[in-house]
Amino acid sequence: MTDDSALRLYIFDADDTLRRTTVPGKPCPHRLGEWELLPRVHERLSAMDWTTLRLGIASNQDQVAYGHMTRETCHALFEDLIRAAVGRDVPEAFIRFCPHALEVECECRKPAPGMLMDIMRHFGARADETVFVGNAPSDEEAARAAGVRFAWAWDFFGW
């Protein structure tokens, strides 16, 4: 990324970008207390001005389809994640997750750009005003497909 001053929408992947699961063998948390923030996430996000910037979450969550958690629990976990990462509630934050099983074709599971496009539409943000921060090649592909900038989590958070 070069000119950050043009950015107004930051979209983040969740798992292994903002948080990590603390339960061995689980790809993502299924309930409160099963995750922790990754290093420097709180420091970076709490220092940003979320009164002028917008925050979105775009995450593949196939564990919903497999019955390991409900949509409501998944959404609540993301709200808790945002609160922990930023240090306060961000009522304007917009959460999108793909609840579909891996074997089901859909328009939202990354690397498809559906979730990113939904978040951009919600905020009325253009592609040149948006960055997607992630940790996987599918995140980078989703950003490319949506026409937005991409930042690797380790670069963004300085790991």
Split at pLDDT 50, 70, 90, the class of 3 is: low
In tens, the pLDDT along 137-159 reads 999 999 999 999 999 999 999 98
pLDDT of residue 1: 42
**Residues 66-90, mean pLDDT to the nearest whole number:** 95
Split at pLDDT 50, 70, 90, the class of 5 is: confident
Please check whether residue 58 is in contact with residue 18, taking contact to mean a CB–CB distance below 8 angstroms: no
**Residues 10-29, mean pLDDT to the nearest whole number:** 96
Share of the chain above pLDDT 70, in %: 98
Domain boundaries, the chain: 4-157
Give the distance, in angstroms, between the CA of residue 99 and the centroid of all CA atoms in the same chain: 14
Task: For domain 4-157, say whether CATH 3.40.50.1000 is its number.
Answer: yes
- Three-class secondary structure of residue 121 per DSSP: helix
CA nearest to 44, candidates 69, 6, 10, 67: 10
Return d(Cα 58, Cα 118) in angstroms, integer.
Answer: 9
In tens, the pLDDT along 104-119 reads 999 999 999 999 999 9
CB atoms within 10 A of CB 158: 10
